[in-house]
Amino acid sequence: MRNVIKLLVVALLLSFVFVNCGGPATPQDVVKDSFEMMANNDKAGVKDLLSSQVKALVDDKKLDEGINNKYEEIKAKGGITNIEFLSEDIEENEANFKVRLTYGDGSTDDEKAKVVKEDGEWKLGISK
């Protein structure tokens, strides 16, 4: 009986680790995580969320510059205090969002975000 309980506890812990260590689970998670990573100037984290299409179009230097510029913009406005999804259109392999960012200084920006499913994972795409 003790071995069965130990086995169940180990299985439960492993499932928790695998669920929480995989990438973002939903398209909304990808969008939210990307803005939070930009607010922390986490270039590597943002790049991990990018689709292969984005990576093919923009070289590393330009990506670093873009993330740094967004970081500076967010920092100047007092950081992000809220991320609100205004609209979402989620299909099987693509999701489009309109997101409102609220900053520490009280200002807001509306952003568009596109997320695509690539090899079973949601990644940031190119929004129009």
Low-confidence winner among 5-9, 53-57, 59-63, 75-79 (lowest mean pLDDT) = 5-9
Distance (Å, whole) CA 14 – CA 41: 31
Residue range 26-46, pLDDT digits in tens:
999 999 999 999 999 999 999
* pTM summary value: 0.78
Does residue 17 surpass a pLDDT of 70?
A: no
Question: Does the pLDDT at position 23 exceed 80?
Answer: no
Q: What is the per-residue pLDDT for 4?
A: 31
Longest dimension (CA), the chain: 59
Euclidean distance between CA atoms 86 and 23, whole angstroms: 23
